[in-house]
Structure 1
């Protein structure tokens, strides 16, 4: 039962494609510096990128002309270097940092469309892009300086390289080298994306009997894969024992009870909207794969790898604190393959139910249209990004510090997202990403001595630790932060 032809001529098709990329560009740039708001991890990454652009090191400033290596950084140079380049070109502002993320969002959308186009054809590629372009979490995670969307973009490139290898019948040393070279930056972007090379490796191992492997092929792939990782290791580990960093990656949020956390997150797949949506998309994908396996239909190594990666992401999510952005990667791939999965199910229903057979082939279009409308509504009115369209937090920060004397010293207390707004390098800083990790703790005695002229701190942190700041008094607010002035 063939899929219904839609989008008409090439002109119509590419007009719709251009419109979709216009949608992506609009929502990637709309209220770019206000929505989503800046937050803790982003502040650290921007500071590291700024240091990388100025000194070539992954450090943060803890005092004037004093810097600390951020050894436990959970993103790598595939994110830091492009952000550093943007800061170098356009200045040390939040807008400059986030412009690089706009580029990553557009590249991620383009590579997703290209991957689907080569795998499944023009129809599924356009339908998949429709779902991705209206997916609120793409912008909720993508506009902040975080590793999720860059990691997805590099993952798409790795899957495109895998597709090239398969279509060329696993011949050519250069194709293996290209796959390795594409997979290396994926793993270096963020620890969770190490699961993508693992997924590709597991799928290739599953099909090992049908792949004409040679020693030179393995050597080319491994060599090209390890080269980007070697650079990552050089920049990332610093003077710290790598085993300590890897242990931190295994449980970055210090979850006390893994079993309890897993059970709570499993329950979320039944009771919380985003995990429910993720579960529905994955079940749809699984159902379509089972049908195709039953029919003994061929499934591309790319789709198998994307599916294995998504399953591994879900398993990894279960042992985290339950933040929905850790489902993001699996949801993107499930959305991308959802139109094709829906078509498989529609065809199956049409074969077995004569009464709905005339309408079954249109089921995919109807369901995709419904999902697009739902997501588009959320993107505009009921999502993390929509919630902050009308906020002025960044504008308020810029306004406050526009009159801040550059000679005045300030201590930024565990608020790394505020540093990008400071008009001076005359600042001290203490941050504590987790209970076990902190930077700038040696600067804390300066507060007791009353050396900094002012302190920037979150109101809740001030309430918890008032005794530490007895030499200071409240002097006003900078957006969401409290400013303490020396008495």
Structure 2
């Protein structure tokens, strides 16, 4: 009878606590994702370049980047896939061009990503640990999940399609032919949304099949081949469209070479500086309170069991291993760490769950033990978990709220308003601040896409200045120059090249120059 009463009491408590906690997480998440959405982060280079494509498609029906001389192949047209560009373009066409409106698309993708993670973790553990996974990913500082949920880039949408495909694959319904086709389509959508994802997703699919053949011997070839072939074909078709169709009819070999130079220079790089950066990011406190390595090892060890659960964990572990290896072979930018950092949260939560189980923490008895001053295993693990939660959740939560409350910046909008009011429509503006092309309809000339590869090499690989490869005086007949944060950062407009221009206005970090008559 006592046991039955305790069970009923626990059920009643859960029925009250669960909606309260879920509601609290939902409210906090919506606040973090939506508050000051227009001004944090400030509109910036990558976001502006992607939105050029959506704007061109919405207004002109052309899926391409543009500059004053016309449309440009490659570049931002392939940096983020049509799964982002087309919804944004549809909103632009229906409601007008707006950066906050475009950011809402990414916010929706982020909410769907967190919901998918919650449902997947519910299957592995239980709803409280599903909420923990959501909170950890939303707050993780190392890859700026929240930051990239509020700006138009491809990491969040790509992560959504991958996680949804993975969740379906590991679900019993994912073993039907229809389910496996769905898995392949979702993973394929992930690769075309953010093409860098293809470089760990497709090899990992193959390795999962190899692991089944050699070790698990449970699920058969269809389980791996159908998703692998479909996702591979989708990525291959997208690559063809990128190289031939978006390459504006150029020679395949030359287009492919240009694509590799412009898009892959930062992704496959192994040097003495990049690997330490990668290791520092993954092992730092910014990845779930420095639990990446313990959780990485825990995931591998617990995936060795030849069982359904063991193979489920093994599939996630293989994706984790491949994405980690690829990240360590890149320039180690935070955006390249999305794969390993998102995947490892599964094992972080499972590790925490097992630590809680080992400690057998019961608040009443635990507090009594503390008062007695006994350093029992339960107390030691409990204290560790409280400290870890503070470092992994509470401090990042405070920092994220502080960021979006105090680091708003509307300078780009102010500059755009000044340009629209003071610069003639037929005047050419030279700038590398891509957001200007979204916020205004003026005639703007941008440096070629290849210059970005030189700027990356300059900043991260000690290469020569990007200004050595580009001189706006020979590339355009600029009447005005806007030198903003990105132009200053890359040094693309040195003062000696501005001798024929006068500063006529300064707005925040933006300087506006006009050519002397």
Q: TM-score normalised to the size of structure 2?
A: 0.77
2:195 match: 191
Q: 1:12 to 1:75 in 2, by over 3 A?
A: same
Q: Please point out which of 290, 296, 301 is paired with 1:286.
A: 296
Distance in 1 (alpha carbons) for counterparts of 2:53 and 2:239: 16
Q: 1:412, 1:456 within 8 Å by CA — same for their partners in 2?
A: yes
Q: Quote how far apart the aligned CAs of 1:185 are.
A: 0.7
Matched, 1:454 2:454: no
Cα-to-partner distance string for 1:251-272 (whole Å, 9 max, x where unaligned): 42388x7331344325635996
Alignment of 1:75-474 (within 5 A): 75-136=80-141, 137-164=144-171, 167-168=172-173, 170=175, 172-194=176-198, 195-208=200-213, 209-213=217-221, 220-221=226-227, 224-226=230-232, 228-237=234-243, 238=247, 239=250, 240-241=252-253, 243-244=256-257, 247-248=260-261, 251-253=264-266, 258-265=270-277, 268-269=280-281, 273-274=285-286, 277=287, 280-289=290-299, 292=302, 299=309, 301-348=311-358, 356=376, 366=386, 369-370=389-390, 371-381=392-402, 385-386=403-404, 389-422=407-440, 424-431=441-448, 432-435=451-454, 445=474, 447=476, 451-458=477-484, 460=488, 464-474=493-503
Matched, 1:14 2:13: no
Distance in 1 (alpha carbons) for counterparts of 2:132 and 2:267: 40
Distance in 2 (alpha carbons) for counterparts of 1:397 and 1:442: 24
What secondary structure is seen at the aligned counterpart in 1 of 2:273?
Answer: helix
Distance in 2 (alpha carbons) for counterparts of 1:270 and 1:169: 31
Q: Quote how far apart the aligned CAs of 1:401 are.
A: 3.4
1:27 match: 32
What secondary structure is seen at the aligned counterpart in 2 of 1:35?
Answer: coil
Q: 2:122, 2:130 within 8 Å by CA — same for their partners in 1?
A: yes
Distance in 1 (alpha carbons) for counterparts of 2:425 and 2:174: 65
Aligned positions, number: 464
1:49 match: 54
Q: CA RMSD in A?
A: 3.7
Q: 2:91, 2:101 within 8 Å by CA — same for their partners in 1?
A: yes
Q: Quote how far apart the aligned CAs of 1:386 are.
A: 4.6
Distance in 1 (alpha carbons) for counterparts of 2:375 and 2:301: 21
Distance in 2 (alpha carbons) for counterparts of 1:334 and 1:149: 16
Q: Quote how far apart the aligned CAs of 1:206 are.
A: 0.9
Q: 1:154, 1:186 within 8 Å by CA — same for their partners in 2?
A: yes
Cα-to-partner distance string for 1:160-184 (whole Å, 9 max, x where unaligned): 22123xx2583x3212211111111
List runs of 5+ in structure 2 lacking aligned partners.
1-9, 362-373, 457-465
Q: TM-score normalised to the size of structure 1?
A: 0.82
The higher-RCO structure (CA 8 Å, 6+ apart) is 1
Distance in 2 (alpha carbons) for counterparts of 1:48 and 1:63: 14
Q: 1:339, 1:364 within 8 Å by CA — same for their partners in 2?
A: no
Q: 1:374 to 1:279 in 2, by over 3 A?
A: closer
What secondary structure is seen at the aligned counterpart in 2 of 1:145?
Answer: coil
Q: 1:67 to 1:105 in 2, by over 3 A?
A: same
List runs of 5+ in structure 1 lacking aligned partners.
none
User: Which contiguous aligned blocks of 4+ residues in structure 1 show a shift greater than 6 angstroms?
Assistant: 294-297, 440-443
